[in-house]
Amino acid sequence: MNSEHEPKIVAFLCKWCSSAGSDMAGVSRLEYPSNVIPITVMCSGSVSPLYILSAFNLGADGVLVSGCHPGDCHYIKGNMYARRRMALLKELLPYIGLEPERFQMSWVSAAEGLKFTQIIKEFVKQLKPLGPQTQLRRSL
Amino acid sequence: MRKKIGVFVCHCGINIAGTVDVKKVAQELSEFPGVSYTVDYVYMCSDPGQNLIIQKIKEEKLDGVVVACCSPNLHETTFRRAAQSAGLNPYECEIANIREQCSWVHKDKDKATEKAIKITKGIVEKLRWNEPLQPIKVPVTKRALIIGGGIAGIQTALDLANSDIEVVLVEKNPSIGGHMIQLSETFPTLDCSQCILTPKMVEVSKHPKIKLYTYSEVQEVTGYVGNFQAKILKKPRYVDPDKCTLCDECTQVCPVVVPNEFDLGLTGRKAIYIPFPQAIPATYTLDIEACPGVLPIACGKCWDVCEPKAIDFDMKPEIVEEKVGAIVVATGYDLYDKKNMAEYGYGKYPDVLDGLQFERLLSASGPTRGKILRPSDHKEPKEIVFIQCVGSRDPELHNKYCSKICCMYTAKHAKLYKHHVHDGQAYVFYIDIRAGGKGYEEFVNRTMEEEGVLYLRGKVSKVFEENGKLVVWGVDTLAGQDIEIRADMVVLAMAIRPSSGAEKLAKILKAAQDTDGFFAEAHPKLRPVESLTAGVFLAGVAQAPKDIPDTVAQAGGAAIKVVSILSQPELLHSPLVAQVNEHLCTGCSMCVDVCPFSALSIVEGKAKVNEVLCEGCGTCAATCLRSAIEVKNLTHLQVHDMLTASLGGLK
Amino acid sequence: MVEVEKIREEARRLLQEGQVRGVIGYVRGPQGVWAVPAMIRNPEDVDRLVWNPTCVHNLVLFVVEEKKEQARQKEPDKRPLAVVVKGCDSRAINVLLQEKFIEREEVILLGVSCENSGVVDKKKLLNLVPSQKIEEIVYGNNGHIVAVIDGERRVFPPEEVLADRCLECQANFPVVYDHFFGEKIKKEAINTSPGVDKIEKMRLEERRRFWEEELSRCLRCYACRSVCPMCYCTECVVDPISFAVEPTTTAEEKAKKIKWIEKSPLLSENFVYHLVRAIHLAGRCVDCGECERVCPEDIPIRLLNKKLEREAWRLFNYVAGMDSQAPSLFSTFKETDPEDFIR
C-alpha cells in the first residue's frame, strides 16, 4: 500500500453549522490537510445517499457528512433524518467490503472550528494507509 | 445555450494570495468549459473591485458570475447586489469560498492552489444550472390573532394595537385576565397583582384596535403566514352584555351552587355568574352545564328577575371568521392534575392546597378577604408547610422539567404568611432554590432571614391527617435526618403544565410541541418567540414555564415579530424552495412526512410545495426515492456536477 | 390446510357478483407442475386457481402493473382487484398502502397461509429430482413438501427444498387480508438470515471479493427491478431508461438528466446500482425473494436487502410492511436513534 497516497475527500457540510464551523477554523487559522473539498448544502438532511455513492463512484477516497448537533438543526430535525439514513449506509458499505473509515459522519457546530480540523486530520490519517478507493470508482 | 460565466478571483490582500496562487486559479478557470472571462484582483469587495465585476458583466455579456473570495456569509449579498446592478439576476452570482475553507487553513501553496481551483470549478458547475429567481411575494393581512387572554396575550395585544395593528384576541374563559388576575401580590416587589393588571384589561376592552372574543375558542386555522383564516367558536353566554346592567339580581335567585373556578373551588358560585368583579367583559355568563334547565325551562328564576331582559335561553353557538396575517399563541398553563399527587393528600384533605388556592387565600378579594384561614375550620394555621417541586423535576414519575416560578412564589407565600400570622411557623421543603432574576436572590434571602422561615432541603414522602393535624413526613438531607411536622396547612407548589387545550391548538396551527407539550420555539437561542410554523409566534408559559416579567418581555418580543411581518406591504420569501417534478412524483407523501415546516401536501396524487412555508432545507429531496422533488439552485444535478468537478472530473 | 376450493368459491362469488374486475391468483403453468400467475376475469375460469408450494410469485407486482395500466386508460374499470397474497406479499401491499400507491379499497386480499412451510425453490428441487417427472407438488405434514413422481409420493424436509427466504421467514401468514384461508401458525425461524451471518463473519477483504465475484456477473438486465413490486417508480433514478427523448427534446434537457452511473455493466457501476437499489428498498423490501429468483446470473441480491432489513430492525426496530399507517423508515426518526457512529 502506498503510504504517500493523498486521499481525496468530499465533505458535505450543512450551511448553518458545519460549513460555518469550517469557516471558524479558517478565522482561527487552524491548519488542516488540504485533501478535503467542501460542498456546502443547506442541511445534512438534504444529503441523499446517492450523493455519497456518487462521490465514491466519481473517485472520492472518503466522504464526510457533517451537520448540526442534535437539537441545533437550523431546520429543526433535518439532521435527525440524516442520522437515520446515514446509519444504514454506514452499515451497508463495509458489508460489501468498503473500508468503514471511508464514510464518516460528524456533528460540527458553528463554533467548533477546532473539532472540524481534528475530524479532517483524523480522517486523512485513517485514509492514507488504505490507498486509493477503487471498489466503487468508475474506471472506463 | 451555455451560460457565459465570469470568474473573479480575489486576493484579499495577502489573505488569499499569500497561500493561493490566484493567477493560477484564474488561469486554470479560464480553460474550464463555460468560463468566458477570468480576472484576479486585490480586493473584490472594494468599490473598484465591485465596479470591475459590474463593468465586466456588461462588457463580456456574462450570464453568471463566480467570485472566488471569502465565505459567502460575508460578501454574498455584496456581490449579488453588484451583479444585480449590472443587470444580472442576483441568483446568477455565486461565491467560491477560497479563504476560510482554503487559504487560511493550509500552508502548502501548491496544494492550497489546487484545492482553490477545485472549489471554484465546483461552484462554476453549480452556477451553470442556477435559475434566475425572483423573491416570492406574499400579500399581507394587517391583523393579528392572539390566542389566550392572560398577561401574555394582553400584553401582546396592547403592544400590537398601540403599533396601530388590528388585533383579534380570543379567550376561552368568560373573562380575560388569565392566572395573573387570581394572584395576590407578585414577587419580588409585592405589587398587588390585580392593581397592575386590571388597568391593562380595561385598556384591552376599550382599545379601538382590539376586537375581543371571550368565552370563545379557535376551531380551525387555514392559510399561511400573512394570510391566515381563523374560525372562532363563540360559545353562548345566554346573557346579552349590552343589555345586562350588572344588577346581580340573577345570582341572588339562582338556586344552583357549583365550585367557583376563580377561587379554585374554595368558594362556590351560582350557575349564572360573573367570574370576578373586575371581569372583562363585565357581564354575566350562564353556565349551561350547571343550569337546571333551558329546555324545557325548569327553573328560569334568573330570567324572571332580569329587568332589562338580558337573559336569552335561545342563544346559539356562533362561528365567526377572521382573516389575520400573524398569530400569537399565549395559552398559558394549567396546574398539574390533583390526581397525580395522592401521596400528599391533595384533593383529599381540605387544608392541603395548591399554590393558586393559597394565592386566593392571600388575596384581599378572595374567599377569606385576605385572611389566612383553614378551609376546613376557618382557623388560622399556626404551622404551615410549603412543598416545592411537586410534580416537577421528577423524570421517573412526573414532569422532568423545572416549573421555574415555584421557588419564588413559595418564598413569597411564606413571607406573606408571616406578614399575616406573626406567631406562625413556616417550613419550606425544597430541592434547590432557583432564584435567578433581578432581585430574586435577595428576596429569598430576606424571606429566610427576616421572616424566620425554615428552609429544609429534602423531599416529602407523605402527608396524612391525624387528630386534626396534617402530618408531614419528610427528610432533611443536609442534616441527614427524617423530619415529621404536624402542620395546620400544607401548600403544594404544583408543577405547571401546558394549558389543557394546547395539544388541540398545536394541531390546528400545525405548530410543533416539545416533548413536555409546550409549544416548540423555532430555535432555542436565536428564535425563542417564533414557532416552527411561519407567522405563528409564542408568548408566555405556552412556550415554557416562566414568570410575569419574562412573560411580558416575551409578549413584547412576539409583538415586534408580528410587526416585522405585518408592517411590510408584502412579504418577500427566499425563492430557494423545493419544486416538484410531477412526472416522477408518485404521491407517496414521504416528503410531506419529513418536511419540518408543513410546506408540502399531496394534491391530486402529487406533492405540492407551499413556497411561502418552504425554507429550502432539502430534506424532502434526500428522502424522495424518485428524485421527484428538489430545491431550486441546489438540485441533484448541481450536486452531481459539483462532485465531478471537485473530484477532478471524469472524462 | 388451505382448501383451494374455498379460495375458488370466494373468487367465483366476487366475480359473479361483479364486486371485482378480476382475481389475480396462481394457476397451473404450461410447464406442468409449476404454478404461474394469472388474472381470472370469468367466473368459469376460477377452477383453474391453485394453491401449492410452487406458488412462488409475488402477485402484488400485478397489482402495481394494473394500477399503472389504469392510469393510462381513459375510463378505467374502478372496481377492486382480488389478489391472492402470502405473508410476504401482504406486507408488500402494506408498503404500497403506506406509500399511497394504492388505496385499501382497490384490493380485496385473499390471504393464504404458507402451511407452516413456504414455497419451493425450483432450483433446489430440480437438483434432487428431474422436473419432467414431477406430476404434483403439495404440502405435507410439519412443513414437509410432497412431490408426486410417477404416481409415487416423495417427501422432502423443508430445509432441502424450500426457498431460503421461507426458511428464514417469521411471518408466514398475511398481516393484512379480507379473507383468510388456512391456519395462522407462527413459525419460528431458527436464523433470520444465515447468508447475512456468513458475510458478516468474513473479513473486509473477503466481503469485497465475494461481492466483486457476484456483482461482476450482473448484466444489468434489470430483471430484479422489473419483478419488484416496490420498484414502481416512473423512472429509476440510477438509470432513467424510460426518459423519452423526442425530437423536441432540447440538448439542455438531455444534459439535465443526471448520469449517476454508466449504463454499461462495469463492476463499479454494478456496485453503485445494487447499493442504490438496496438503500431505496430499505424499510420497504418485504423479502418476497423475487429479485433473486429471476436473476439470470444467480446473484444473491436478497443478501443486500436482508442486511438492511436486519439493520433496520436492530437500529430502529423497524420491519417493512407491518403497518400501513406508520410512517416509512426514512420519513420518521426517534430522538433515541443510535448515533455512536457519528463523531
Task: Summarize pLDDT for C210-226 with one digit per residue, the tens.
Answer: 999 999 999 999 999 99
C45 near C15, Cβ under 8 Å?
A: no
Dihedral angle computed from the Cα positions of residues B453, B459, B462 and B466, in that order, rounded to the nearest 10 degrees: -20
The verdict on residue A2 lying in a domain is no
At C9 the pLDDT is 95
**In a 3-state reduction of DSSP, which class is residue C77?**
coil
Domain boundary among C156, C190, C224: C190
Could you tell me what percent of chain B has a pLDDT over 70? 99
Contact across the interface for C328 and B590, Cβ inside 8 Å: yes
Q: How far apart are CA C210 and CA C205, in angstroms?
A: 9
Tens digits of residue pLDDT in B229-249: 999 999 999 999 999 999 999
Number of structural domains chain C divides into: 2
Q: What pLDDT was estimated at residue A2?
A: 46
Contact C270, C278 (CB under 8 A): no
* Fold agreement (B143-235+318-332+499-566, B335-497): yes
Encode pLDDT of B16-28 as tens digits.
Answer: 999 999 999 999 9
**What would the grid cell of residue B34 be?**
463555460
Q: Does domain B5-134 have CATH number 1.10.10?
A: no
ipTM entry: 0.96
Is A85 an 8 Å CB contact of chain B?
yes
Q: Which three cell numbers stand for residue B616?
A: 429550502
How high does pLDDT run on average in chain B? Answer: 94
Same domain, residue pair C185 and C275: no
Residue C188 C-alpha, separation from nearest chain B C-alpha, in angstroms: 33
Q: Could you tell me if B593 lies within 8 Å of chain C, comparing CB atoms?
A: yes
In a domain, A134, yes or no: no
Determine whether C55 is exposed, middle or buried from the number of CB atoms within 10 Å of its CB (0-12, 13-18, 19+).
buried
A106 → chain C, closest CA residue: C343
Residue C303 domain boundaries: 193-334
* Count of domains for chain A: 1
* More confident call, B650 vs B94: B94
Q: Read off the C-alpha cell for B130.
A: 442556477
Class of B143-235+318-332+499-566 in CATH = alpha beta
Residue B333, pLDDT > 80, answer yes
Considering chain A, what percentage of its residues have pLDDT values greater than 70? Answer: 97
Cα gap C247→B66, rounded to integer Å: 34
Domain assignment of residue A119, yes or no: yes
* Inter-chain CB pairs, A–C, below 8 Å: 118
Q: Do C210 and A80 touch (CB under 8 A)?
A: no
Spatial distance between the Cα atoms of A19 and A38, rounded to a whole number of angstroms: 8
Neighbors of chain C by Cβ distance (3+ pairs < 8 Å)? A, B
Length, in residues, of chain B: 651
Q: Do C113 and C222 lie in a common domain?
A: no
User: Is residue C158 included in any domain, yes or no?
Assistant: no
Please indicate, yes or no, whether residues C328 and C222 belong to a single structural domain of this protein: yes
Query: What one-character DSSP code corresponds to residue B117?
Result: H
Residues C231-242 pLDDT 10s:
999 888 887 555
Q: Do B100 and A23 touch (CB under 8 A)?
A: yes
Say whether the peptide bond before residue B596 is cis (omega within 30 degrees of 0): no
Dump pLDDT digits (tens) for C262-285: 888 999 999 999 999 999 999 999
Which among B102, B623, B639 is the nearest to A51, CB-wise? B639
**Could you give the 3-state DSSP secondary structure of residue C237?**
coil
Chains touching B (at least 3 CB pairs under 8 A) are A, C
The mean per-residue pLDDT over the stretch B611-626 comes to: 94
C321 is a domain residue: yes
Q: Do C258 and B637 touch (CB under 8 A)?
A: yes
The percentage of chain B sitting over the pLDDT mark of 90, rounded to a whole number, equals 88
Question: In this predicted structure, what is the pLDDT of residue B120?
Answer: 97
Tens digits of residue pLDDT in C106-157: 999 999 999 888 999 999 998 988 766 888 999 998 889 999 988 889 999 9
Domain boundaries, chain B: 5-134, 143-235+318-332+499-566, 249-305, 335-497, 577-631
B627: closest CA of chain C, how far (Å): 7
Of B605, B626, B637, the CB nearest to C234: B626
User: Domain range spanning residue A51?
Assistant: 9-127
Cβ contact B584–C233 (<8 Å): yes
> Could you give the CA distance from residue C188 to residue C167 in angstroms, rounded to a whole number?
9
Yes or no, beta carbons of B584 and C256 under 8 Å apart: no
Give domain status of residue C17, yes or no: yes
Helices (H) and strands (E) in chain B, counts: 16, 36
What is the C-alpha to C-alpha distance for residues B169 and B176, in angstroms, rounded to an integer? 9
Which residues of C fall below an 8 Å CB-CB distance to B?
99-101, 232-235, 237, 256, 258, 260, 280, 327-328, 330-332, 335
Tell me the chain C residues in contact with residue B512 when contact means C-beta distances shorter than 8 Å. none
**What is the CATH number that goes with domain B577-631?**
3.30.70.20
On whether the pTM is more than 0.80, the answer is no
| Assigned fold of B335-497 | FAD/NAD(P)-binding domain (3.50.50)
Give the gap in angstroms from C-alpha B16 to the nearest C-alpha of chain A: 11
Say what percent of chain A tops pLDDT 90: 89
- Gap between the Cα atoms of B210 and B165, Å rounded: 9
- What stretches of B142-192 show up as alpha helix (H) in DSSP? 151-161
Q: Tell me what the mean pLDDT of segment C195-205 comes to.
A: 96
- Whether pLDDT at A1 is above 60: no
Tally C-beta pairs within 8 A across B and C: 50
Show the cell assigned to C309. 432489513
Question: Residue C242's pLDDT is what?
Answer: 54
The Cα A72–Cα B219 span in angstroms is 32
In this predicted structure, the answer to whether residue B626 has a pLDDT above a threshold of 90 is: yes
- Looking at chain A, how many residues does it have? 140
Chain A residue numbers with beta carbons less than 8 Å from the beta carbon of C238 are 50
CA–CA separation, A9 and B77 (whole Å)? 29
pLDDT higher than threshold 70 for residue C243: no
Would you call A39 and B594 a contact, using CB atoms and an 8 Å cutoff? no
A116 occurs within a structural domain = yes
Mean pLDDT of B170-194: 96
Would you place residue C244 in the very low, low, confident or very high pLDDT band (cuts 50, 70, 90)?
Answer: low
Q: Note the pLDDT of residue C36.
A: 96
Please name the residue of chain B whose CA is at the shortest distance from the CA of residue A30. B105
B89-139 tens-digit pLDDT: 999 999 999 999 999 999 999 999 999 999 999 999 999 999 999 999 989
Interface probe, candidates C103, C239, C258, C336, chain B, greatest B C-beta count within 10 A: C258
Q: Closest-CA residue in chain C for B2? A: C252
Contact A38 B119 (CB under 8 A): yes
Are C186 and C200 in a shared domain?
no
CB pair distance less than 8 Å for A43 and B106: no
- Specify the range with the lowest mean pLDDT, choosing from B46-50, B645-649, C106-110: B645-649
Whether B131 has its CB under 8 Å from any CB of chain C: the answer is: no
CATH code of the domain in which A63 resides? 3.40.50
Would you say residue B2 has pLDDT above 60? yes
Residue C341 three-state SS? coil
The chain-wide mean pLDDT, for chain A, equals: 94
More confident residue, C255 or A73: A73
Mean pLDDT of B205-225: 94
Q: What pLDDT, on the 0 to 100 scale, is given for residue C92? A: 97
Identify the residue whose cell numbers are 444504514.
A88
CA distances from B282 to B79, B175, B275, C61 (A): 60, 8, 9, 68
- Looking at the fold, whether C309 and C262 belong to one and the same domain comes out as yes
pLDDT the model gives residue B1: 66
Contact B619 A81 (CB under 8 A): yes
Partner-chain contact B643 A41, CB within 8 Å? no
If asked whether residues C183 and C233 sit together in one domain, one would say no
pLDDT band of B650, cuts 50, 70, 90? very low
AA letter at B430:
Y
Identify from C235, C316, C333, C337 which residue to disrupt to test chain A contact, counting A C-beta atoms within 10 A and taking the largest count. C333
Q: How many residues belong to chain C?
A: 343
Q: How many alpha carbons fall within 13 Å on the CB side of residue B191?
A: 10
